[in-house]
């Protein structure tokens, strides 16, 4: 340990300061991020916002009470105010039938105003700058250290580590309860779990984490640490465990990137941490595989292309069924799909798969293409029969309804319907239902 | 005591006007459940101030406001985009925009402080907490201008905004340009927020948008009246807060006092408002509970229609019924008096009408039918009541003032078992 301490102390002071600052930022934001996951899931994000504003009078009262910056009374005062916010919001909702958001807005802004007034009134007795409440003082944590095993550990790091440990213990002890209350509070109540108690415990923890972190990052940026990592992780996964791990990772990256960014542009570390978290959220919102904007766009495009390809195949196949050449000029097919880009992409896809060939601008089905078309027509006509026979739809009404279905009927289901209907040979319009290997 | 000094008058005019405008616009935000969007907007305006400063290089009033307006609008759009295009819910979207934009604002303002000379940096900090004592005539003129625009717009677009607040989907179906209206309203909120920032600051501006509207909502169900009231509350809070802070012995900013005054209005409204207020609702609840208990007693007595009843006097409705002369003691118990019969028959009739209505018309499980039966004529249309009376007669359940023992159970149970 002392060898490590000696090595650590031999490092350049700039580097150790940077590492200590990052460590403080990382512990604070990981602790907040873990709790934030529950806030995001339970749609309580703004209660985090409200609590972080409303603790101001609690901090001031705690300060006034002892007259020193002893953290314990401040923590208690802030926690009391945090709980009061949650409680008053609910009280106004119930007693006054005020909508939840208005109720919250009334409570936390009023408490914040009271805090500002207290600071103004007792400015001479307390050493508290409203500015550092808002922005935090993470740049200065390395100047306030305690000796620990030969290392000059920032006092804030001890506070944050304590907070993080408390959060971890809380989550580990109440993992099942918190999970249940996050996803199904009604079931939780039915199982005899007091959802209200869990709610207030969570609020107490949020207040604790907020109070512990506000010293580092300030009361507004703590909202970024509470909500943004959880929301980012929520875009990436559906599993709570993974969500927490990802949120912690986002928080870590924010702390490191925030520090480096602030170093490069010579600006506020806390602000830069919030921006770094915001950038990660933006990236996730755009690029997340399932829930991202781009991911969804790609998915929609691929479905649209598949439908266009299948429509082209069946168009050609139906021509063949009516005894005409199963080939068409490209322009005629293009009218079917409308959009030029979709047409070109879909046609390219069909050629690559060897389902059509193009000679002199004429698009013609290949043997493989005919087989693929038959499968689709098979699904289409089976579904028509099913709707006419089982759902008693008029035969005129089934074609349009079967049209979208032909793209989404899985082969297994098609087989079952076929068996259920006793292998019908014709559809309600009298057209033959193609079987594998036979055209028309 | 300089409360009529020129400076104080300037500040007074500015804060009252701001309160009025914010109250009117905030009412729509409260009704649309978007109260906290104002919070996000005012935080999102912060980076715009710094950016404008970086670009223009000076503390030019118009430039700052333009920058703040731009980022506030971007923030409002971002909240909508996150809500529409991702699975993230609106509350988290508001929190994300609020905190990340504010973080950006802190970053930018620190860069401003580092790059410019010391004299100008104080300007940006005052936007956080507001500095109403530093208000100058230009600020008040800006508020006046914005106030006139906002109030004119709310008057001209009264019908459209009403639609937006209460049924935007209906409006969309009817072909109203709901998106455009939404953008107009959000722009008005942004402008109001921004001219208010120098006076009351980021957090308290949000409060000024929420609290007067939420307080006015207690007093009325009519939009027009609510707007008037919210404007009044906002204006009064602005004026009182400014005066109180001017009179206060120590250096207390007007912003927080304005907000606490508004919060006082809210608390008073929540408790004292005649119909929606907590006290009125509690009294109504007690009165209803009493009336139901009384009706139940009378009906039970009527339906038992036995010469001797269990002693109702220990029950409070029983004592009150005796006090009104509806029941009287006889040799071995209590009985209805003549007036009591009359009253009990009325209650029983109303109750049965209600039961039949709920069973036959509203498809409600028969176990749920008990409630304040006297309401039947107020709740239902006269034609429905006549129809129900006819059904009552068909079932032979019409209570006959005196005498005729009502056959409740047999007939009603038959009815319950054979749903139409």
DSSP A260-310: HHHHHHT--HHHHHHHHHHHHHHHHHHH-TTTSHHHHHHHHHHHHHHHHHH
Strand pairing partners for B328? B335
Say what the ipTM of the complex is: 0.79
Taking a C-beta distance cutoff of 8 angstroms, is the pair A55, A82 a contact? yes
Q: Is the model's pLDDT at B392 over the cut of 50? A: yes
Mean of the pLDDT values across residues A15-41? 91
Verify whether the Cβ–Cβ distance B251 to A120 is below 8 Å.
Answer: yes
Q: Is the model's pLDDT at B59 over the cut of 70? A: no
- In whole angstroms, what separates CA A12 from the centre of its chain? 40
Chain A interface disruption, residue of B32, B77, B100, B247, most A CBs within 10 A: B100
The pLDDT of residue A99 is: 84
Q: Which of B113-127, B192-206, B294-308, B381-395 has the highest mean pLDDT?
A: B192-206
pLDDT in tens, B36-58: 888 888 889 888 888 888 887 76
CA distance A232 to chain B (A): 9
Q: Pick the more confident residue, A217 or B217.
A: B217
Strand pairing partners for A145? A154
Tell me the percentage of chain A whose pLDDT exceeds 90: 18
DSSP state of B358: I
Q: How far is CA A292 from CA A45, A254, B63, B75, in A?
A: 20, 20, 36, 20
Instruction: Identify the band that residue B178 occupies on the pLDDT scale cut at 50, 70 and 90.
Output: confident
Mean of the pLDDT values across residues A306-319? 83
Verify whether the Cβ–Cβ distance A110 to B207 is below 8 Å.
Answer: yes
Instruction: Identify which of A59, A58, A52, A66 has the alpha carbon closest to the alpha carbon of residue A128.
Output: A59
Tell me the percentage of chain B whose pLDDT exceeds 90: 15
Beta-carbon count within 10 A of B50 CB: 25
Taking a C-beta distance cutoff of 8 angstroms, is the pair B234, B26 a contact? yes
Q: How would you classify the pairing of strands A362-365 and A356-359?
A: antiparallel
Instruction: Identify the band that residue B363 occupies on the pLDDT scale cut at 50, 70 and 90.
Output: low
Pull the structure tokens for residue A431. 């057209």
The pLDDT of residue B7 is: 75
Strand order through the sheet with A362-365: A327-329, A362-365, A356-359
For chain B, the domains span 6-269, 284-417
Question: Mean of the per-residue pLDDT values for chain B?
Answer: 78
Q: Is the model's pLDDT at A287 over the cut of 50? A: yes
Taking a C-beta distance cutoff of 8 angstroms, is the pair A274, A224 a contact? yes
Lowest average pLDDT, out of B23-32, B43-52, B70-79, B354-363, goes to B354-363
Verify whether the Cβ–Cβ distance B125 to A226 is below 8 Å.
Answer: no
Instruction: Identify which of A53, A332, A122 has the alpha carbon closest to the alpha carbon of residue B251.
Output: A122
CA distance B243 to B240: 5
- Burial code (b: 16+ CB inside 10 Å, e: under 16) for B142-172 equals bbbebbeebbebbeebeebbebbbeebeebe
Beta-carbon count within 10 A of A436 CB: 8
Q: Pick the more confident residue, B332 or B207.
A: B207
Beta-carbon count within 10 A of B2 CB: 9
Instruction: Identify the band that residue B378 occupies on the pLDDT scale cut at 50, 70 and 90.
Output: low
CA distance A174 to A176: 6
Instruction: Identify the band that residue B405 occupies on the pLDDT scale cut at 50, 70 and 90.
Output: very low
| Cβ of residue A233 closer than 8 Å to a chain B Cβ | no
Query: What DSSP line would sit under B122-155, residue for residue?
Result: HHHHHHHH--GGG--HHHHHHHHHHHHHHHHHHH
Verify whether the Cβ–Cβ distance B204 to A275 is below 8 Å.
Answer: no
Verify whether the Cβ–Cβ distance B107 to A106 is below 8 Å.
Answer: no
* A120 Cβ contact list (under 8 Å, min separation 6): B250, B251, B252, B253, B256
- For chain A, helix, strand, coil in percent to 5 are 75, 5, 20
Q: Is the model's pLDDT at B134 over the cut of 70? A: no
CA distance B346 to B340: 10
The pLDDT of residue B380 is: 65
Lowest average pLDDT, out of A91-105, A207-221, B347-361, goes to B347-361
Q: Pick the more confident residue, B131 or B217.
A: B217
Phi first, then psi, for residue A327 (nearest 5°) are: -150, 150
CA distance A30 to B202: 27
User: Which strand (E) or helix (H) includes residue A362?
Assistant: strand A362-365
Instruction: Identify which of A322, A263, A314, A331 has the alpha carbon closest to the alpha carbon of residue A14.
Output: A263
Verify whether the Cβ–Cβ distance A120 to B250 is below 8 Å.
Answer: yes
* A340 Cβ contact list (under 8 Å, min separation 6): A334
- In whole angstroms, what separates CA A88 from the centre of its chain? 29
The pLDDT of residue A73 is: 81
Q: How would you classify the pairing of strands A151-154 and A145-148?
A: antiparallel
Question: Mean of the per-residue pLDDT values for chain A?
Answer: 83
Q: Is the model's pLDDT at A365 over the cut of 60? A: yes
The pLDDT of residue B403 is: 38
The pLDDT of residue A46 is: 85
Instruction: Identify which of B309, B308, B307, B305 has the alpha carbon closest to the alpha carbon of residue B404.
Output: B305
pLDDT in tens, A207-220: 888 888 877 777 77
Burial class (CB in 10 A: 0-12, 13-18, 19+), A410: exposed
How many C-alpha atoms does A331 have within 13 Å on its Cβ side? 1
Alpha-carbon Rg of chain A, whole angstroms? 32
Mean of the pLDDT values across residues B318-332? 75
B6-269 and B284-417, same CATH topology: no
Closest residue on chain B to A295 (Cα) = B86
Mean of the pLDDT values across residues A78-106? 86
Mean of the pLDDT values across residues A273-282? 93
CA distance B174 to A62: 57
Q: Is the model's pLDDT at B374 over the cut of 90? A: no
Instruction: Identify the band that residue B371 occupies on the pLDDT scale cut at 50, 70 and 90.
Output: low
The pLDDT of residue B419 is: 43
Q: What is the CATH number of domain B284-417?
A: 1.10.10
Verify whether the Cβ–Cβ distance A293 to B106 is below 8 Å.
Answer: no
Instruction: Identify which of A159, A266, A167, A151 has the alpha carbon closest to the alpha carbon of residue A216.
Output: A159
The pLDDT of residue B93 is: 92
Beta-carbon count within 10 A of A158 CB: 15
Mean of the pLDDT values across residues B12-18? 89
The pLDDT of residue B333 is: 66
* A373 Cβ contact list (under 8 Å, min separation 6): A313, A314, A316, A317, A365
The pLDDT of residue A167 is: 94
The pLDDT of residue A439 is: 37
CA distance A132 to B139: 27
DSSP state of B192: H
- The CA-based angle B215-B99-A259, given to 5 degrees, is 160
Q: Pick the more confident residue, A414 or A171.
A: A171
Q: Pick the more confident residue, A229 or A116.
A: A229
Q: Which residues of A touch B252 (CB under 8 A)?
A: 117, 120-121
SS3 B420: coil
Chain B interface disruption, residue of A99, A110, A134, most B CBs within 10 A: A110
Closest residue on chain A to B29 (Cα) = A102
Across chain A, which distance is largest between two alpha carbons, in Å?
A: 98
DSSP state of B327: E
Strand pairing partners for A151? A148
* B140 Cβ contact list (under 8 Å, min separation 6): B10, B13, B14, B17
Burial class (CB in 10 A: 0-12, 13-18, 19+), B176: middle
- In whole angstroms, what separates CA A84 from the centre of its chain? 29
Between positions 275 and 334 of A, the ones with CB within 8 A of B are 275, 277-278, 281, 285, 291-293, 296
Across chain B, which distance is largest between two alpha carbons, in Å?
A: 100
SS3 B336: strand
pLDDT in tens, A118-145: 887 887 666 666 666 666 777 777 777 7
Instruction: Identify the band that residue A30 occupies on the pLDDT scale cut at 50, 70 and 90.
Output: very high
The pLDDT of residue B364 is: 54
In the CATH scheme, what architecture does the domain B6-269 have? Orthogonal Bundle (1.10)
User: Domain A295-365 falls in which CATH fold?
Assistant: Arc Repressor Mutant, subunit A (1.10.10)
Q: Which of A154-168, A246-260, B6-20, B377-391 has the highest mean pLDDT?
A: A246-260
pLDDT in tens, B265-283: 999 999 888 888 888 888 9
Q: Which residues of B touch A133 (CB under 8 A)?
A: none
The pLDDT of residue A129 is: 65
CA distance A268 to A139: 8
Q: Where in chain A is the domain with CATH 1.10.10?
A: 295-365
Pull the structure tokens for residue B63. 């430039």
CA distance B156 to A20: 59
Mean of the pLDDT values across residues B345-372? 66
Taking a C-beta distance cutoff of 8 angstroms, is the pair A237, A246 a contact? yes
CA distance A119 to A59: 10
CA distance A425 to A381: 10
Burial class (CB in 10 A: 0-12, 13-18, 19+), B184: middle
CA distance A55 to chain B (A): 14
Instruction: With 0.80 as the threshold, say if the pTM is over it.
Output: no
SS3 A146: strand
- In whole angstroms, what separates CA A39 from the centre of its chain? 12
Q: Which residues of A touch B39 (CB under 8 A)?
A: 49, 105, 109
Lowest average pLDDT, out of A284-298, B247-261, B327-341, B374-388, goes to B374-388
Taking a C-beta distance cutoff of 8 angstroms, is the pair A134, A218 a contact? yes
Taking a C-beta distance cutoff of 8 angstroms, is the pair A326, A370 a contact? yes
CA distance A418 to A425: 10
Lowest average pLDDT, out of A123-132, B2-11, B57-66, B240-249, goes to A123-132
CA distance B17 to A302: 55
The pLDDT of residue B1 is: 43
Phi first, then psi, for residue B3 (nearest 5°) are: -75, -10
User: Which strand (E) or helix (H) includes residue B383?
Assistant: helix B382-394
């Amino acid at each position: 340990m002392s060898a490590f301490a000696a090595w650590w102390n031999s490092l350049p002071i700039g580097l150790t300061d940077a590492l200590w600052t990052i460590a403080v930022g990382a512990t604070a934001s990981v602790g907040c991020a873990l709790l934030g996951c529950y806030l995001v899931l339970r749609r309580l994000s703004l209660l985090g916002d409200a609590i972080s504003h409303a603790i101001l009078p609690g901090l001031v009262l705690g300060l006034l009470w002892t007259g020193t910056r002893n953290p314990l009374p401040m923590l208690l005062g802030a926690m009391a105010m945090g709980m009061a916010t949650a409680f008053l919001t609910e009280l106004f909702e119930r007693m006054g039938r005020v909508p939840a958001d208005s109720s919250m807005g009334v409570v936390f802004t009023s408490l914040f105003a009271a805090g500002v007034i207290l600071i103004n009134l007792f400015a001479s007795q307390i050493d508290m700058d409203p500015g550092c409440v808002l922005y935090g003082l993470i740049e200065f944590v390395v100047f306030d250290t305690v000796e620990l095993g030969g290392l000059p550990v920032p006092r804030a790091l001890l506070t944050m580590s304590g907070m993080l440990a408390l959060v971890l213990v809380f989550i580990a002890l109440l993992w099942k309860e918190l999970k249940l209350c996050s996803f199904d509070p009604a079931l939780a109540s039915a199982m005899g779990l007091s959802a209200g108690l869990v709610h207030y415990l969570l609020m107490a923890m949020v207040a604790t984490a907020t109070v512990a972190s506000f010293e580092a990052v300030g009361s507004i940026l703590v909202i970024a640490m509470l909500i943004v990592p959880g929301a980012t992780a929520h875009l990436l996964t559906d599993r709570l465990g993974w969500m927490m791990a990802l949120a912690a990772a986002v928080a870590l990256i924010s702390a490191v990137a925030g520090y480096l960014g602030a170093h490069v542009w010579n600006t506020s570390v806390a602000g830069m941490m919030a921006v770094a978290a915001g950038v990660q959220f933006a990236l996730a919102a755009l690029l997340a595989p399932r829930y991202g904007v781009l991911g969804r766009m790609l998915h929609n495009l691929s479905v649209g292309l598949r439908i266009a390809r299948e429509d082209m195949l069946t168009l050609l196949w139906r021509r063949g069924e009516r005894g005409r050449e199963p080939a068409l000029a490209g322009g005629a097919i293009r009218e079917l799909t409308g959009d030029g880009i979709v047409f070109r992409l879909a046609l390219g896809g069909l050629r690559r798969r060897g389902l059509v060939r193009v000679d002199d601008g004429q698009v013609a089905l290949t043997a493989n293409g005919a087989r693929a078309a038959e499968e689709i027509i098979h699904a289409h006509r089976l579904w028509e029969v099913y709707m006419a026979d089982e759902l008693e739809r008029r035969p005129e009404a089934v074609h349009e309804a079967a049209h979208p279905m032909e793209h989404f009927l899985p082969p297994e289901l098609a087989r079952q319907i076929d068996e259920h209907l006793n292998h019908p040979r014709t559809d309600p319009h009298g057209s033959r239902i193609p079987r594998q290997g036979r055209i028309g | 005591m300089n409360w009529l000094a020129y400076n104080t008058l300037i500040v007074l005019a500015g804060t009252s006007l701001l309160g009025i405008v914010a109250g009117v616009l905030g009412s729509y935000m409260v009704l649309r459940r978007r109260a906290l969007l104002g919070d996000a907007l005012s935080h999102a305006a912060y980076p715009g101030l710094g950016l404008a400063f970086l670009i223009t290089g000076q503390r030019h009033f118009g430039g700052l406001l333009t920058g703040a307006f731009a980022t506030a609008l971007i923030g409002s759009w971002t909240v909508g985009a996150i809500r529409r295009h991702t699975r993230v819910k609106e509350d988290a979207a508001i929190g994300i925009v609020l905190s990340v934009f504010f973080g950006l604002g802190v970053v930018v303002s620190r860069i401003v402080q580092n790059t410019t000379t010391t004299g100008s940096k104080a300007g940006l900090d005052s936007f956080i907490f507001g500095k109403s004592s530093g208000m100058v005539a230009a600020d008040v003129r800006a508020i006046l201008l914005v106030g006139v625009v906002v109030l004119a717009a709310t008057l001209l677009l009264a019908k459209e905004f009403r639609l937006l607040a209460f049924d935007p989907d209906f409006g969309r179906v009817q072909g109203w340009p709901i998106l455009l209206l939404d953008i107009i309203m959000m722009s008005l909120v942004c402008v109001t927020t921004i001219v208010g920032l120098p006076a009351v600051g980021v957090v308290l501006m949000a409060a000024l948008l929420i609290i007067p509207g939420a307080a006015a909502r207690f007093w009325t169900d009519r939009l027009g009246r609510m707007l008037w009231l919210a404007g009044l509350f906002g204006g009064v809070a602005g004026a009182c807060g400014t005066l109180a802070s001017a009179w206060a012995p120590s250096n207390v900013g007007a912003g927080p006092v304005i907000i606490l005054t508004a919060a006082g209005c809210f608390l008073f409204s929540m408790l004292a408002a005649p119909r929606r207020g907590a006290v009125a609702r509690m009294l109504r609840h007690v009165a209803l509970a009493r009336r139901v208990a009384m009706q139940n007693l009378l009906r039970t007595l009527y339906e038992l229609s036995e010469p001797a009843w269990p002693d109702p006097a220990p029950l409070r409705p029983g004592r009150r019924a005796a006090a009104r002369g509806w029941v009287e003691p006889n040799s071995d118990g209590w009985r209805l008096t003549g007036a009591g019969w009359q009253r009990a028959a009325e209650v029983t009739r109303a109750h049965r009408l209600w039961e039949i209505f709920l069973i036959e018309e509203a498809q409600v499980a028969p176990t749920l039918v008990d409630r304040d039966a006297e309401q039947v004529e107020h709740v239902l249309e006269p034609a429905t009541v006549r129809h129900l009376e006819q059904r009552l007669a068909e079932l032979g359940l019409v209570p006959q003032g005196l005498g005729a023992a009502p056959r409740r159970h047999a007939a009603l149970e038959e009815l319950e078992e054979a749903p139409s």
